[in-house]
A = this chain, B = another copy of it.
């Protein structure tokens, strides 16, 4: 997925700013994912059986899906909803649908 194929809105920050607790929640999840990716490297170095590695790759993907979905949901319910209420929601809704289309590929 390329940014230029998805991004429509000229926006650098969330429309509704993330709270510190939200940021911390996402950071913690991402740190755990970083640890899982390092764990994958170790498995390959230790020559672990392919299916064991594949099961672990699938766990990392599930964790990434979860962060992605959480962020998407927050974006829709906060940023997009806000933009619609303020009368400039069309491009936000367009962009949301493009993100969703790309994720379903």
Q: Does A21 contact B (CB under 8 A)?
A: no
Q: How far is the CA of A44 from the CA of B68 in the complex (A)?
A: 12
Instruction: Give chain B nearest CB distance to A49 CB in angstroms.
Output: 5
Q: Which residues of B contact A13 (CB under 8 A)?
A: 47-49
Interface of A is mostly: helix
Against B, the Cβ 8 Å flags (1 = close, 0 = not) of A12-28 are: 11100110000100110
Contacts of A51 in B (CB 8 A): 6-7, 9, 11, 75, 95, 99
- A-B contact list, 29 entries, CB within 8 Å: A1-B58, A1-B59, A7-B51, A12-B48, A12-B52, A14-B49, A18-B47, A23-B47, A27-B44, A33-B37, A50-B71, A50-B79, A53-B71, A54-B72, A54-B99, A54-B103, A57-B64, A57-B71, A61-B64, A61-B65, A61-B68, A65-B104, A76-B96, A76-B97, A77-B97, A81-B84, A84-B89, A85-B85, A105-B105
